[in-house]
Chains A and B, each alone.
Chain A
Amino acid sequence: MWFLEKWMESPKTVKKLVYVLYASLIVSCLLGFVIHFAPPAEHAAPADHGEHAEHVPFVFEQIPIFSAIFGFIVCALLGLGSKAYGHNVVMKEEDYYDK
């Protein structure tokens, strides 16, 4: 696996990967807009499912990049919140129960 190692460890690759990430962030958001404004092909299916409940998305799901915003904010809140909770309440040194 030396080739993978060599490739992964070079700063150039890391830089490239970061660009790939940026690009995919942007592309995913753009795709969100595309399917939001595209004609709803799947919803054209006849609504004759009888008792089947109609799939009604929530209001916030109408925002094309809702998942992106939600993901980022929740990631930050969970990450920082958990660490804050840990540091202030539950995180103890490893021999806590042995004392």
Chain B
Amino acid sequence: MTSEIMTVPPAAIFIVGALLIPLFKGKLRQAYMLLIAVAAILDVYFMPDGVYWLHPFMQYELVLGRVDLLSKCFGYVFTIAALAMTFYALRVKEAGEHIAAFLYIGSALGVVFAGDLITVFVFWEVMAWASVALVWYRRTKASIDAGFRYLMVHVVGGVLLLGGIILYMQEPSGLVDGSLLVNGSLAKVVPFTIDAFDYASPATILILIGFIINAAVPPLHAWLPDAYPEATITGAVFMTAFTTKTAVYVLARGFAGFTIDGFAILMWLGAIMAIYGVVYAIIENNIRRLLAYHIVSQVGYMVCGIGIAASAASVTGAGVISQTAIDGTAAHAFCHILYKGLLFMSAGAIIYMTGKSKLTELGGLYKVMPLTMIFYMIAAFSISGVPLFNGFTSKSIIIHAAEMAGNAPIFLMLECAAVGTFLSVGLKLPYFAFFGKDAGIKAKDPPTNMLIGMGIAAFLCILLGVYPSLLYNILPYPGAIADYVPYSASHVIGSLQLLLFTYAGFLVLKKKLQPENTISLDTDWFYRKGAVLFMWVVNNPLARGTQWTIDATLAVKDFAVWFSKNPVEALGIITDKVCLRVLRSSEGATAGEESAEKVLATRIQGYPGEPVRRDPIGVSVLLGTIFLFAYLVIYVVALHLSVYSMIGLLVVAVLAGIGVRVREMMRGVEG
């Protein structure tokens, strides 16, 4: 029945919709943008499963519609989040910012429903360029700088991805006939299928690096906590949802079986990432940067889930474990987008209403922004995995998969990250921003449209926490987790113990965890300081090097010009200069120095003088003598001498000449 309804690529709804935004103004524009978001949700709902929307491009076929449970799951949450976030952003006056946001959402949806790698790459690039506008619209120097760094990292990632795709096209599975996907297609397709990359080769590694740059896997993650806190209030909310989650999606699709000689690298990277983000969040002072580090941490769970799926490929009962892990990843991405969006909306509301973003400057806000506080706490409980909130029902699937795989270290690392998450997002940030010492800030709750956006996200956080089956039914492998019960007595009580004792620990350590007015260096140090070093090298050694060659060439030219004006006199001057130096360096022989200097000065002053000597006969006799002597040496003496002795003779002759001239000078020379 659903196939009766005509659908279009959801990417097209947002991208075409974005271009029409400037045509509307005021309330009409707001209604129009909400309409687009609703249309996209319905569109995703009615899209039939299958592969369609092929479009020829060069000699390839682009596949714009590859719809299955995995892509639909991400499609749903992307469009639902887009609706809530559009509500939140309604009051933004700037049409350009809305256009950037919609292009960004559209291209993220384009990646999700792409059936081939060329399409993935194209949308991947659009996503980077559209999202950087959301940073730049903040219009501060910090945001412009951060935006450039963000862009450079993503451009590098895009180039690596493209390189990987091109190499992949040379591999046997990398370029197939389109007719394998859709009947009647004649062109070639670079397919992007489930578990396409389950082996390590230059192509898959490059593609993997391209993907994990966007997933913010350390050490390639620093762009995220660098740029997100500098984005506009609403722009940051959009950014939390799409870049990292499209990366999670493409990893879940292509790399769910990826191991390097049986080593599931993504599982370990993900677990390390989950803890890494938490550690930085604990020492962070800027509220949005603190939350940004929790994106790194939470995406760590998802990357770890994908890795668990890959690691389980060789264990008995692997099918179920892998499928559970992928379900957990998709479910957690779904919930994460909702609660992280809500966290950024609340933090954005604080910054929007108070103009302050540092924990050291905030405090006691619950009195003036109670609704924001409530929405924030709903999101904080969700991310911390408090029962009845959505994080509890999604995060636990990944941890459950680690348990099923019998992997104790991963299980404990993920639990560690859960403690750290509650510690910094559930306790530290709200304590020092909403409670704690009253900073006496005059503010109130944000405007209604922002509250509606936050309300939608908060409602869904609780809804999916209370009725997890709503989410479980749209996961890629609903069969694998059909038996999974999140609300088992042991799980609920275990979680409560974990959270309550973390709370107790926080109260004990409250003084030690006081926020401090600092920034924390991260791996962006290497390119931020590296860039300074690079510019120094360009400005100093390199610039001087270029200047030196120019100077040297000019000096040679100047000398040649000077010398050619009167070679004989020039030689004489040079000789005199050398002789004078010899004279000076020899002690006690200062008698003729003064007169010699005077003579030299007059010679230099008179240069070039009269180039043609007045006594031509003397000169010709001299030249004749020199040439005859040269003949003698070359034809008679040189035959019996080696090159070295020739050079030796020459040196002796020069020295003798200088000696004669020096002697002359000591006696006193006249012009």
Contacts and interface: CB of A to CB of B under 8 A. Distances in A.
Contacts of B506: 75, 79
Nearest to A59: B408
Contact of A79 (B490, B493, B509): B509
B370 interface: yes
Contacts of B400: 55
Contact of A71 (B406, B408, B500): B500
B277 to A, nearest CB: 11
A87 B132 CA distance: 32
Contacts of A97: 519, 528
Interface string A1-22: 1001100100000000000010
B376 to A, nearest CB: 15
B521 to A, nearest CB: 4
Nearest to B516: A91
B494 A74 contact: no
A58 B411 contact: yes
Nearest to B407: A58
B609 interface: no
A42 B488 contact: yes
Contacts of B415: 67, 70, 74
B519 A79 contact: no
Contacts of B488: 42
Interface string B490-527: 10011111111111111111001100111111100000
A58 B412 CA distance: 10
Given A52-B320, A53-B321, A71 B505 contact: yes
* Size bracket, chain A contacts: 35 or more
A72 B509 contact: no
Nearest to B284: A86
Nearest to B315: A53
Interface stretch (B341-349, B416-424, B632-640): B416-424
B403 A25 contact: no
A75 B497 contact: no
A80 B509 contact: yes
B513 to A, nearest CB: 6
Given A53-B404, A82-B279, A90-B520, A32 B501 contact: no
B520 A86 contact: yes
A13 B219 CA distance: 46
B642 interface: no
A79 B512 contact: yes
Interface string A63-99: 0011111111011101111110110011111101100
A1 B415 CA distance: 37
Contact of B403 (A58, A94, A96): A58
A53 B316 contact: yes
Given A79-B512, A82-B282, A65 B316 contact: no
A74 B419 contact: yes
Contacts of B522: 90
Contacts of A82: 278-280, 282-283, 420
A52 B501 contact: no
A28 B278 CA distance: 25
Contacts of B370: 1, 4
A53 B490 CA distance: 19
Given A53-B320, A53-B321, A82-B279, A67 B494 contact: yes
B356 interface: no
Contact of A78 (B282, B504, B517): B282
A97 B141 CA distance: 13
A81 B420 CA distance: 11
Query: Looking at B283, B321, B415, B435, which has the most chain A CB atoms within 10 Å of its CB?
Result: B283
A90 B289 CA distance: 15
A74 B509 CA distance: 12
Contacts of B278: 78, 82
B320 A35 contact: no
Contacts of A24: 496, 500
B556 interface: no
B434 to A, nearest CB: 11
Contacts of A55: 400, 403-404
A72 B283 contact: no
A91 B283 CA distance: 8
A52 B490 contact: no
A80 B501 CA distance: 16
B417 to A, nearest CB: 9
Nearest to A31: B493
A96 B493 contact: no
Contacts of A1: 366-367, 370
A38 to B, nearest CB: 8
A58 B517 CA distance: 42
A96 B519 contact: yes
A48 to B, nearest CB: 11
Contacts of B612: none
Interface string B308-348: 00000000110111000000000000000000000000000
Interface in B380-411: 400, 403-404, 406, 408, 411
A51 B497 contact: no
B505 A76 contact: yes
Contact of A72 (B321, B435, B504, B513): B504
A70 B505 CA distance: 11
A71 B498 contact: yes
B423 A79 contact: yes
A86 B490 CA distance: 36
A57 B419 contact: no
A76 B512 CA distance: 10
Contact of A65 (B366, B497, B505): B497
B6 interface: no
B604 to A, nearest CB: 51
Contacts of A65: 497
Interface string B410-452: 0110011001100100000000000100000000000000000
24 contacts: A1-B366, A4-B370, A5-B366, A5-B367, A21-B504, A21-B507, A28-B500, A53-B316, A53-B320, A53-B321, A58-B406, A67-B415, A67-B493, A67-B495, A70-B415, A71-B500, A71-B505, A74-B416, A75-B504, A75-B509, A82-B420, A86-B283, A91-B518, A92-B519
Interface of B: 278-280, 282-283, 316-317, 319-321, 366-367, 370, 400, 403-404, 406, 408, 411-412, 415-416, 419-420, 423, 435, 483, 485, 488-490, 493-509, 512-513, 516-522, 528
Given A71-B498, A71-B505, 9 more contacts: A1-B370, A24-B500, A28-B500, A31-B493, A55-B404, A57-B403, A58-B408, A67-B494, A78-B279
Interface of A: 1, 4-5, 8, 21, 24-25, 28-29, 31-32, 35, 42, 49, 51-53, 55-58, 60-61, 65-72, 74-76, 78-83, 85-86, 89-94, 96-97
Closest 4 CB pairs of A and B: A75-B505, A53-B317, A86-B283, A71-B501
